[in-house]
Structure 1
Amino acid sequence: MVSTTLFRAYRTELADTLRLSVPIVIAQLGVVLMGVTDNLFVGRLLGAVPLGAAGLANSLSFLLSGIGVGALPVVAALISKARSQNDVATVNRLFRAGLRVAILLSVILGGLSVVLAYNFELFGQTPEVARLARNFMLILSASVLPLLIFVSARQLCDGLRYPHVAMAITLSALGINAVFNYVLIKGIGPFPELGLMGSALSTLISRLFMAAAILIYIYRAERFREYLQSSFQNLSTTSDIWTILRLGIPGGMTFFFEIATFSLAVVIVGWLGEDRLAAHQIAINMASVTYMMATGISSAAAIRVSAAVGRGSREGIFKAGIAAFLLSVSFMSLAALLFLTANDWLVTLYIRDNPAVMTIAASLVIMAGFFQLSDGVQVVALGGLRGLSDVNVPTLITLFSYWVVALPLSYVLAFPFKMDAIGVWIGLLAGLTIAAVLLTWRFFRRIARMNNFDQLKSEVAVSIH
């Protein structure tokens, strides 16, 4: 009864958030579905050991590039605020500054990815997994630049409320990735048989397409022309670059802390054996898909909250936050139900010829079902706080939740308590739940403490400047 009343009261807000978030969700999925597609083809065509190697490389590569992926969405929130104030010049500066930040971050993060690839022995994996994962990750390192260019350019579309642009490009890229995965792994027609490396090359090709396609569209489409006038090119973007870095890097580190937790959980599970590593990778892939869908709702929350700040509407901020939480909880509840009831069938999508891996993976998918709600709530709370330009304290909350609670608890339960891979997932669940509670509390506390909107605007202005 309470939930029905809430949905009726927020019907308009829910509809607006849903319209904005669905295309963003689909575009966000493209970031993670590249890895999922790679793992599906590798698992079905090459077997468990290459699957573990591809999963490890994808996880660690995304760990580093995720700093940029998590940092750049602040551009959409800032563009949304400028748009609500009819500040066309600021929109242009933010777009150009975002591209410059993307290039800077890709050089740094791509370089770190290469260094990590040559030091896989630090993670204690088997020699064969380490060898295959190293070569896979080197190719993924080259794809960081087009990935971040795409993510940065996407922020203009999302901030101006044209999220379907990135959605269409992402869907096209996923098709390209699937086709090239098959032909390059197997060596179809004129293409050589590259095995596991063919899968990595398909991701690079797909990301190059995404970056080129979105830039071509933005510069040719009529709807963006007023924001790309040549008269704006002489405007300095230096202060905007620093603003994006100051607000974005904490957001990127927040994303890093969570992704790092799951990536390092892959390493911990790898110490338990190759079969558990492959099983864990299957389950974590599924959880990553639902998480990235929730980040789409989170991005919509950041855009709508920031727009309400620009309009001077405290009530708008509150309603935007509530609508995002309701959507996320509803979606993640459905995902949890699917994971809990169809776990065996979901595992067969990845692998069918290894009963030991399938049995372990099925149990881990059940665990993934249990933490769907916590994952969905914490990421939407982060989006709402990003819309308020509140980034520093949330970063500390995620650091505590994932690195002080989740990772140590995962290790202790897996080894001293001998709970195996299940223990790792219980630790992850604990960290996510703590993050969800603390971040949600902070979001609503920030709103409750504001006696008038002038106070809110001054606090946000201080955060930005």
Structure 2
Amino acid sequence: MRAEIRATLALALPLIIGNFAQAAINTTDVLILGRYDVDALAASALGVNLFFAFAVFAMGLVMAASPLIAAERGRKPHSVRDVRRTVRQACWASLAVCLPVWATLWNTEWVMLLFGQDPALSVAAAGYVRVMMWGLFPFLIFCVLRHYVSALERPIWGVIVTVIGVGFNALADWILVFGLFGFPELGLTGAAIASLVANFVLMFGMILVVIMVPSFRRYRLLGRFWQSDWPRFFGILGLGLPIAVTLALEVTVFNAAVFLMGLIDRDSLAAHAIAIQVASLAFMIPLGLSQAATVRVGIWHGRQDRAGVARAGSVALWLGCGAALLLSAGMVAFPNELVGLFVDRAEPESAPVFRLAVSFLIIAALFQLVDGAQAVGAGVLRGLQDTRVPMLFAAIGYWVVGLGLAVWLGFPGGLAGLGIWIGLAAGLAAAAVLMVSRWFMRERIGLVRYE
């Protein structure tokens, strides 16, 4: 058990750092636009949430590479060809999913108006997305290669590249939004350009890593990149689509909350953008543990080792719940300080946003406890390549319980934004119970069938 704890932490810690750095790209946009203009912040909240919904779906699709590579390494520790083919077809899947996503994002203004958003904010959000959306494909290639180095249990290279990308994005954001060093002041458009270019930096950085680092170079990932492997391609789609839908269901329920906030008022929308950024950053810790759990459980699953599977899953769940408890305590103890990073409470225009964001953050601290459990629960199930039933659990928890309560408490219940956040917390709790229960029943229901 101690060896498994060490192995999980050794894999999870770089993944957590990388997740923080990756999330910092959008957080940087919110921080800088919050200092620039409240209307720009609100428009970016609409645009980012729509873009991120599709990006997360696409990320889930290529995430199938991680358990597949881990299982291949479990079966044959020195496998090269199978790993290379999995990575190659995951890159093909990245391009395939981008085409319909780009077509949808090009019509962002129409989508926003369909959901009853403010026309002026809808126009601004559409302009933001039409620039940023072209960074989706390079971002997905970066994700595939990051899953590849993580499944080989060398995630530090993904961290290094991500930190470089974040630094570039922060500098470009500051320069282009405010118009420094001779550049024009582009405001919201500047933030979109910075994110777009940062995604290309991430992609080319990971390509250099897999070409130049000896432990990765021997796989020759870019060799005969045009060669098809349709059974493996459709295998990735079969495993990845339920993951994609699961992640999309979680993200889109938060996106739906953004649209609901937009129906209340501008201050609620801006406050939600701040609170969700804090909660999202905190979520990077259980997310990293979930990603590590997928690899560790996947390796033992490939070896058909029942005891190893049980150890890896138990360690990940305990670590995830412990981390969530500490994060919740931090949010409860320092809500004013956390919200103060985004807006100045002393400014009259920002004071209502500050108060609302603090109240939302208290509820976010409560659902952080269950969010960690459901994230790691989904991760250990992915290690067993079990993705379809968890997708149904996500639909029930996030949309039936979560969104249903959010709408009822927020509008007929009269709690407005606070009711929406309470509903989100309830949905995450339902998903957590379902995911973790399935893990503990894994042998009884036939997920583990080893001799």
Common fold by TM > 0.5: yes
8 Å Cα contact 2:293-2:312 kept in structure 1: yes
Q: What letter corresponds to residue 280 of structure 2 in structure 1?
A: S
- What does residue range 178-327 of structure 1 map to in structure 2 within 5 Å? 178-228=170-220, 236-327=228-319
Q: How many Å separate the matches in 2 of 1:13 and 1:262? A: 34
Q: Does structure 2 retain, via aligned residues, the 8 Å contact 1:107–1:145?
A: no
- Root-mean-square deviation (CA, aligned residues, Å) is 1.7
Q: Counterparts of 2:446 and 2:133 in 1: how far apart (Å)? A: 45
- 1:373 aligned to which of 369, 373, 380: 369
Aligned partner of 1:27 among 5, 10, 18: 18
Q: Distance in 2 between matches of 1:441 and 1:105?
A: 32
Contact conserved, 1:17 with 1:301, CA < 8 A, in 2?
yes
* Cα 1:128–1:448 shift into 2, 3 Å: same
1:406 paired with 2:396, answer: no
1:416–1:244 distance in 2 versus 1, CA, 3 Å: same
Letter in 1 for 2:291: S
1:50 Cα deviation (Å)?
Answer: 1.3
* Superposed displacement of residue 341, structure 1: 1.0
Tell me how far apart the structure 2 counterparts of residues 416 and 231 of structure 1 sit (CA, whole Å). 59
Cα offset, 1:101, TM superposition: 0.9
d(CA) in 2 for partners of 1:101, 1:372: 32
Match of 2:72 among 79, 82, 86: 82
State the partner residue of 1:395. 391
Check conservation: 2:88, 2:221, Cα contact below 8 A: no
Post-superposition shift, 1:167?
A: 0.6
Q: Is the 8 A contact 1:185 1:199 kept in 2?
A: yes
One-letter identity of the residue aligned with 2:435: L
What is the aligned partner in structure 2 of residue 7 from structure 1?
none
Aligned CA distance change for structure 1 residues 230 and 131 (closer, same or farther; 3 Å): closer
Q: How far is 1:234 from its partner?
A: 8.9
Q: Are 2:342 and 1:346 aligned?
A: no
> In the alignment, which residue of structure 2 is the partner of 1:129?
121
Contact 1:184/1:191 (8 A) holds in 2: yes
Q: C-alpha deviations, 1:129-163, integer Å up to 9, x for none?
A: 21211111111211111111111111211111111
Mean alpha-carbon deviation: is it higher for 254-263 or for 310-319? 310-319
Cα distance change, pair 180–381 in 1 and its aligned pair in 2 (3 A): same
Between the aligned partners of 2:330 and 2:336, the Cα distance in structure 1 is 11
Kindly state the Cα deviation for residue 45 of structure 1 after the two structures are TM-superposed: 2.0
- Structure 2 partner of 1:360: 356
Q: 1:57 maps to what in 2? A: 47
- The CA deviation at 1:87 is 2.4
Q: Using a 3 Å threshold, how does the CA distance of structure 1 residues 411 and 16 change in structure 2: closer, same or farther?
A: same
CA contact (8 A) 1:64 1:112 kept: no
Partner secondary structure for residue 119 of structure 1:
helix
Partner of 1:161, secondary structure, is: coil
Q: Deviations over 1:219-258 (max 9, x none)?
A: 1221112211788769742111111100001001000000
Q: 1:228 to 1:269 in 2, by over 3 A?
A: same
Assess if the C-alpha contact under 8 Å between 2:210 and 2:221 holds in 1. Answer: no
2 CA distance for matches of 1:147 and 1:342?
Answer: 33
Is this contact kept in 2: 1:157–1:166, CA < 8 A? yes
Give 3-state SS (helix, strand or coil) of 1:307's partner.
helix
Deviation at 1:296, TM superposition (A): 1.4
Query: In the TM superposition, what is the alpha-carbon distance from 1:446 to its structure 2 partner?
Result: 1.0
Q: Report the Cα distance in structure 2 between the residues aligned to 1:412 and 1:157, rounded to whole angstroms.
A: 44
Runs (4 or more) in structure 1 with deviation over 6 Å come to 229-235
Instruction: State the distance in 2 between where 1:452 and 1:204 align.
Output: 43
| Deviation readout 1:91-121 (Å, 9 max, x if unpaired) | 1111111111111112222222222344321
The 3 A distance-change label for structure 1 pair 235 and 276 is closer
Match of 1:100 in 2: 92
* 1:37 matches 2:28: yes
Judging changes above 3 Å, is the alpha-carbon distance between structure 1 residues 360 and 295 closer, same or farther for their aligned structure 2 residues? same
| 1:379 Cα offset (Å) | 0.8
Q: Match of 1:454, as an amino acid?
A: Y
Q: 1:117 to 1:294 in 2, by over 3 A?
A: farther
Summarize the Cα distance change of 1:345–1:311 in structure 2 as closer, same or farther, 3 Å threshold: same
Whole-angstrom distance in 1 between the partners of 2:248 and 2:370: 18
Q: Which whole-Å deviations, capped at 9, do the CAs of 1:27-67 have from their partners, x for residues lacking one? A: 22344321111000000122x22111111111111001111
Partner Cα distance (2:236, 2:222) in 1: 23
Query: What amino acid sits opposite 1:372 in the alignment?
Result: Q
Greater CA drift, 128-137 or 253-262:
128-137
The 2-side partners of 1:236 and 1:111 are apart by 25
Pairwise CA distance, 1:126: 1.9
Mapped to 2, the partners of 1:297 and 1:44 lie a distance apart of: 33
Contact persistence 1:329–1:373 (CA under 8 A): yes
Letter in 2 for 1:62: F
CA distance, structure 2, for counterparts of residue 236 and residue 420 of structure 1: 52
Correspondence for 1:15 = 6
Question: In the aligned structure 2, how far is the partner of 1:293 from the partner of 1:240?
Answer: 31
One-letter amino acid of the structure 2 residue matched with residue 340 of structure 1: V
Please state if 1:334 is matched with 2:326: yes
Could you tell me how far apart the structure 2 residues matched to 1:383 and 1:71 are?
A: 14
1:11 shift after superposition: 2.7
Cα distance in 1, alignment partners of residues 377 and 142 from structure 2: 25
Tell me how far apart the structure 2 counterparts of residues 361 and 451 of structure 1 sit (CA, whole Å): 42
Shift in CA distance, 288/454, structure 1 to aligned 2, threshold 3 Å: same
Consecutive unaligned residues of structure 1, counting only runs of 5 or more, are 1-9, 456-465
SS of equivalent to 1:227: coil
Partner of 1:459: none
Given that 2:386 and 2:447 are in contact with CA atoms closer than 8 Å, whether structure 1 keeps it comes out as no
CA distance in 2, matches of 1:81, 1:344: 45
